[in-house]
A and B are shown apart, each in its own frame.
Chain A
Amino acid sequence: MGTKHLRRMDLIFTRDDDYKNLVKDILSRKNEDIINEMMESGLKGRGGAGFPTGLKWKLTSEKPEATKYIICNADEGEPGTFKDREILTQVPYKVLTGMAACAKVIGAKEGFIYLRGEYHFLVDLLSKAIDEFHQICKVNSFDFNVYIFLGSGAYICGEESALMESMEGKRGEPRNKPPFPTDLGYLNKPTVVNNVETLAHAFTILKLGAKDFHDLGVQDSHGSKLFSVSGDTPIPGIYELELGMSVQDFADDFGDGDCKAVQVGGASGFLVPRKRFKETSIGYQGKLKGISLPTGGSMMLFNSSRSMYNVLSNYLDFFQEESCGQCTPCRVGCQQLVKGIEQVKRGEKPAAYLDVLLKLTDTMKVTAKCGLGQSVANSFQSIVENFKEEMIY
């Protein structure tokens, strides 16, 4: 326990009283300079999917349409994540500056913050920050307005196309991809959707320059990342750490000494059992040795008193309820998984039935329409394969 291994960073939450000058400075830069800076930084989306942010802005900037949008994704529904709320509470102006930089580059006049309904209490504070920011835009003759759009309790609306459906007054049912939002987004206009933290990092990059950010982390996983740490830990909370750390170092720093497994990336991520701590690192797939797990930052620790059956069953209930129900593999698949593990546990089905369920998750991975249905396999397979006995007895 303690701070033995991992360097704690403090870039995101550092107050910046001088941000008004940064806004002014950014607005006077050339678009291609901003794009180059973002690309060179190596920043990848912090919402989970890890798409290079600079490239997303560049692609959208190249679209000829007159109307475009920038949307900040503050739906933060993944179990175990709570960092985006803290960013919006403590340094909303960094996110707004990131949005303005993107708006300038792509040519958007309107931006939205899609705030999950659970964070309704933040609306007043955030509206104040937005009003202030509008003043700064005005002073700099920059025509840009930001609006808050409140969600209404649907995890799937964090998926960018479902999010836009919801803003258009529809059920939050993900769209087919392609077309991607950069081509046809909100109201069928080219749209950048970025996570709250991604936009806050854009602030840091545009302030300090690409190099400082790029130097952090390892190989393909550049920069720092906020981690939401919860579960069996003496020090739950939000921590900014370098990408590329091993789960072993993480568990040593944050575990309670009896850490049996770490769930990386929330219910839609992977469970890492103790025997794989050393060879597993946190970062984007690429040059890292061993297994490397991307994450939106949810890190949940479980000690040896926890039943992995209960953990899996809790996740599956979550997916079953949050599935939008649009496609069969996910809608029926989730129901069958919930029922299936119960039947095995009660002895109504043989242990070998778990193999049937594992195959079902393989099918869901390739046939489900969106990331929700596709990623159920992640936690299901990593839990069942590593803790089979706990599923049966």
Chain B
Amino acid sequence: MSDVQTLVKGLVKSYGRQETSLMPILQGVIKVERSISESAMIEIARELEISTAKVFGMASFYSFLDTKPRGKYVIRICKTITCAMKGKNQILLALEDSLKIKVGETTHDKHFTLLETNCLGWCHKAPAMLINEEVYTELTPEKVRQIIEEYKKNEVVD
């Protein structure tokens, strides 16, 4: 059995086979793999006895259920109005510069993916971003550079 199959079977075991479990199962795959591969979708469809089209329909609808391969750390920077007014573009430039990638891309070592997202709900502490589930607010270019350096350092230790 492949890793993905084992992962899906485990998730199905804890959430159950009913369709109301589809979302938590997909989220469980994201948590480990950071994206939902074709083989994961096929496995989920088989386990829940639903069509693969349904699983894909679900995954392709939700912006956090990525179907493209993503890095270990997915950075989502808020681009909605208040963050945009409070310097989101400078933050983005700093991120692109420290990661050497553009929005939508993943670093060669598959550690980081850089994405934009809609309102994160931190407008009073703009600009804001998520790295996986972690929230970072009141960002400055210096601050994001530091944050990325920290993540990179931890990667080397890992």
Contacts of B18 in A (CB 8 A): 169
Contacts of A25 in B (CB 8 A): none
A306 touches B119 (CB 8 A): no
**In the complex, how many angstroms separate the beta carbon of B95 from the nearest chain A beta carbon?**
18
**CB closest chain-B residue, reference A303:** B85
Cα separation A162 to B2 with both chains bound (whole Å)? 34
Interface residues of B in 53-78 (CB under 8 A from A): 57-58, 61-65
**In the complex, how many angstroms separate the beta carbon of A105 from the nearest chain B beta carbon?**
25
Using C-beta atoms within 8 Å of the partner chain, give the interface range for chain A.
35 or more
Contacts of A5 in B (CB 8 A): none
Whether A169 touches B64, Cβ cut-off 8 Å, given contacts A121-B135, A152-B27, is no
From A82, A153, A232, A321, give the contact of B124 (CB < 8 A). A82
B-facing mask of A56-96, CB < 8 A → 1, else 0? 00000000000000000000111111100100000000000
**In the complex, how many angstroms separate the beta carbon of A355 from the nearest chain B beta carbon?**
25
The answer to the question of B41 belonging to the interface, with a C-beta cut-off of 8 Å to chain A, is no
Whether A169 touches B121, Cβ cut-off 8 Å, given contacts A79-B80, A79-B81, A152-B26, is no
A167 touches B135 (CB 8 A): no
The answer to the question of A315 belonging to the interface, with a C-beta cut-off of 8 Å to chain B, is yes
**CB closest chain-B residue, reference A170:** B58
Contacts of B120 in A (CB 8 A): 118
The answer to the question of A282 belonging to the interface, with a C-beta cut-off of 8 Å to chain B, is no
Interface residues of B in 1-33 (CB under 8 A from A): 18-24, 26-27
Whether A311 touches B58, Cβ cut-off 8 Å, given contacts A121-B133, A152-B27, A230-B126, is no
Interface residues of A in 153-196 (CB under 8 A from B): 153-155, 166-172, 187
The answer to the question of B130 belonging to the interface, with a C-beta cut-off of 8 Å to chain A, is yes
- Specify which of A76, A80, A116, A169 lies most central, judged by the most chain B CB atoms within 10 Å of its CB: A169
Cα separation A314 to B107 with both chains bound (whole Å)? 28
Cα separation A176 to B118 with both chains bound (whole Å)? 26
B118 touches A236 (CB 8 A): no
From A152, A169, A314, give the contact of B21 (CB < 8 A). A169
The answer to the question of A350 belonging to the interface, with a C-beta cut-off of 8 Å to chain B, is no
Cα separation A167 to B120 with both chains bound (whole Å)? 21
B80 touches A314 (CB 8 A): yes
Number of interface residues of B (CB under 8 A): 36
From A120, A121, A172, A314, give the contact of B84 (CB < 8 A). A314
A154 touches B62 (CB 8 A): yes
**CB closest chain-A residue, reference B117:** A153
The answer to the question of A27 belonging to the interface, with a C-beta cut-off of 8 Å to chain B, is no
**CB closest chain-A residue, reference B58:** A171
Contacts of A228 in B (CB 8 A): 123-124
**CB closest chain-A residue, reference B130:** A118
B124 touches A237 (CB 8 A): yes
The answer to the question of A267 belonging to the interface, with a C-beta cut-off of 8 Å to chain B, is yes
Cα separation A230 to B81 with both chains bound (whole Å)? 10
B20 touches A168 (CB 8 A): yes
B27 touches A150 (CB 8 A): yes
B62 touches A172 (CB 8 A): yes
B23 touches A82 (CB 8 A): no
Contacts of B133 in A (CB 8 A): 120-121
The answer to the question of B142 belonging to the interface, with a C-beta cut-off of 8 Å to chain A, is no
B58 touches A169 (CB 8 A): yes
Cα separation A336 to B126 with both chains bound (whole Å)? 30
Interface residues of B in 125-153 (CB under 8 A from A): 125-126, 130, 133-135
**In the complex, how many angstroms separate the beta carbon of A302 from the nearest chain B beta carbon?**
8
Contacts of B134 in A (CB 8 A): 121
A-facing mask of B98-132, CB < 8 A → 1, else 0? 00000000000000000001111111111000100
Cα separation A228 to B27 with both chains bound (whole Å)? 29
Contacts of A306 in B (CB 8 A): 85
A118 touches B21 (CB 8 A): no
From A85, A119, A167, A314, give the contact of B20 (CB < 8 A). A167
A80 touches B82 (CB 8 A): yes
Cα separation A117 to B125 with both chains bound (whole Å)? 19
Given A118-B121, A118-B130, 9 new contacts (CB under 8 A): A121-B133, A121-B134, A152-B64, A155-B118, A169-B20, A170-B58, A232-B85, A267-B81, A318-B118
3 closest Cβ pairs, A-B complex: A169-B22, A230-B123, A153-B64
Residues of A within 8 A of B (CB): 76-82, 85, 116-121, 149-155, 166-172, 187, 228-232, 236-238, 267, 300, 306, 310-311, 314-315, 317-318, 321-322, 324
Q: What are 25 A-B pairs at a CB distance below 8 A?
A: A76-B121, A77-B121, A79-B80, A79-B82, A80-B123, A81-B121, A82-B121, A82-B124, A121-B133, A151-B62, A152-B23, A153-B65, A154-B61, A155-B118, A167-B20, A168-B19, A169-B20, A171-B58, A172-B61, A228-B124, A236-B123, A300-B82, A314-B80, A322-B118, A324-B61
